[in-house]
């Protein structure tokens, strides 16, 4: 698989419409790796897809992000409405959807999922916790089924699955690209965020220590 080329026919979609009630502040804007959470996710997707969209009802908060911002069409209907909006506004026949609070995205897994995109249905990976609909591929052929679900008041992502073609990438297949299933970890609470920040600092410290050791070895 060529990791230098973008994947045609698929748009990367970041969902930033959540209320972040457990975090107490907007998760997408939390400091991370010298920027903000959403910037790290945008950088990752921009290297994979020609088009990246941010679904948000507060576009002014994301003026710093160089991508198109689109609102929910069915406001107040949760994540399913965000997926619907991403599909509706995409210039491609399929989208790869990810939440704005998933810091450990694995490019190889995203590329494999996107390369198997089905414009007429859903491709969803499986982890030990079950299906992962916020790290999945949706085709425009799903729009009518999602619209019907939303109009009938259904908010759960899986509520339209019985009306479309759903394919799964099972755990064994996912593990070939992400053996620890870190792609599906999200940051919901302050303790999650502090744990992530401490882990990042520890990793950076280990890297700096290794570099100092290597410099000293070369100077001998």
Q: Are residues 72 and 61 in the same domain?
A: yes
- On the question of pLDDT at 136 being above 70, the answer is yes
Say which range, 28-37, 112-121, 130-139, 190-199, has the weakest mean pLDDT. Answer: 190-199
Q: Are residues 92 and 194 in the same domain?
A: no
Q: Are residues 95 and 195 in the same domain?
A: no
Long-range pairs, 106-111, Cβ under 8 A, ≥24: 106/177, 106/178, 106/182, 106/183, 107/3, 107/44, 107/47, 107/48, 108/1, 108/3, 108/177, 108/178, 109/174, 109/177, 109/178, 109/183, 110/44, 110/45, 110/48, 110/183, 111/1, 111/3, 111/7, 111/48
Two tokens at 190?
């302050």
What was the pLDDT predicted at 111? Answer: 97
Q: What is the average pLDDT value for the chain, to the nearest integer?
A: 85
Q: Are residues 135 and 195 in the same domain?
A: no
| More confident position, 211 or 4 | 4
Within-domain flag for 2: no
Q: Are residues 174 and 197 in the same domain?
A: no
Q: Are residues 204 and 159 in the same domain?
A: no
Q: Give the span between the Cα atoms of 149 and 158, in whole angstroms.
A: 10
CATH of the domain at 143: 3.90.550.10
Q: Are residues 91 and 156 in the same domain?
A: yes
Give the structural domain span for 216: 189-220
What was the pLDDT predicted at 186? Answer: 85
Find the mean pLDDT for residues 60-88: 95
Q: Are residues 14 and 77 in the same domain?
A: yes
Q: Give the span between the Cα atoms of 124 and 137, in whole angstroms.
A: 6
What was the pLDDT predicted at 30? Answer: 77
Within-domain flag for 56: yes
How many structural domains is the chain composed of?
A: 2
Q: Are residues 176 and 207 in the same domain?
A: no
Q: How do residues 167-220 score in pLDDT, each as one tens digit?
A: 999 999 999 999 999 999 888 766 776 676 666 654 443 333 333 333 443 455
Within-domain flag for 125: yes
Residues near 7 by beta carbon (within 8 Å), at least 6 away in sequence: 48, 49, 111, 114, 115
Percent of the chain beyond pLDDT 90? 68
- On the question of pLDDT at 29 being above 60, the answer is yes
Find the mean pLDDT for residues 22-50: 80
What was the pLDDT predicted at 195? Answer: 72
Find the mean pLDDT for residues 27-55: 88
Say which range, 102-106, 133-137, 190-194, has the weakest mean pLDDT. Answer: 190-194
Find the mean pLDDT for residues 144-154: 96
Q: Are residues 78 and 136 in the same domain?
A: yes
Q: Give the span between the Cα atoms of 126 and 215, in whole angstroms.
A: 43
Q: Are residues 157 and 210 in the same domain?
A: no
What was the pLDDT predicted at 24? Answer: 42
Which residue has 């897994």 as its token pair?
109
Q: Are residues 209 and 198 in the same domain?
A: yes
């Amino acid at each position: 698989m060529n990791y230098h080329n973008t994947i045609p026919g698929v748009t990367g979609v970041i969902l930033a419409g959540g209320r972040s009630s457990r975090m107490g502040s907007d998760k997408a804007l939390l400091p991370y790796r010298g920027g903000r959470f959403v910037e790290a996710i945008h950088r990752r997707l921009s290297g994979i897809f020609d088009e990246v969209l941010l679904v948000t009802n507060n576009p002014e908060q994301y003026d710093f992000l160089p991508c198109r911002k689109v609102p929910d069409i069915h406001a107040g209907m949760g994540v399913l409405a965000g997926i619907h909006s991403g599909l509706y506004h995409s210039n491609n026949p399929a989208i790869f959807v990810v939440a704005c609070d998933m810091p450990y995205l694995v490019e190889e897994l995203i590329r494999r999922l996107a390369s198997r995109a089905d414009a007429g249905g859903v491709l969803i990976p499986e982890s030990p916790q079950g299906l992962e609909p916020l790290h999945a591929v949706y085709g425009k052929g799903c729009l009518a089924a999602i619209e019907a679900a939303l109009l009938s008041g259904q908010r759960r992502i899986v509520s339209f699955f019985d009306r479309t073609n759903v394919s799964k990438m099972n755990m064994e297949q996912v593990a070939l690209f992400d053996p620890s299933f870190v792609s599906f970890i999200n940051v919901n609470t302050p303790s999650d965020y502090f744990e992530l920040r401490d882990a990042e600092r520890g990793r950076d410290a280990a890297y700096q220590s290794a570099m100092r050791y290597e410099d000293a070895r070369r100077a001998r």
